Amino acid sequence: GAPGAATAPPGHPQATIETIDSGRRDYPDADFSKFVIKEGGPALTVKLTGVRYAPGTVVFFNGAPVPTRIVSVNEIQGTIAATLLGTPGRFPIVVRGDTPDSVSNTAWLIVAYR
């Protein structure tokens, strides 16, 4: 690592979310649409990019685990069921590793009124 960089304890690297992409384009502004979707619609596969997505890492939406696919050490996808997207609100997304203290920073998905 770089001099002065913070390092995680050996064996317990912390996953980090850097960007979120809803994959939907519900609004004319593509960047806005990455984290704001309209309520309802089909299941959503959200793409998270960041660092340290190891085997066993799981995406959590609003506190509940969702089906997760690890694409690479820098990309993970979580599939959020349509039933979870029917209520407007601001919902937290985190990724958790294989230890209780291995939780990423929080990204937010906003579900807006249709």
If you compute the radius of gyration of the chain from its CA atoms, what whole number of angstroms results?
15
3-46, pLDDT tens digit by residue?
A: 444 444 455 568 999 999 999 999 999 999 999 999 999 999 99
Specify the pLDDT at position 100: 74
Q: Is 85 helix (H, G, I), strand (E, B) or coil?
A: helix
Amino acid at 87: T
And the tokens for 30? 């593509």
d(Cα 7, Cα 104) in Å, to the nearest integer?
15
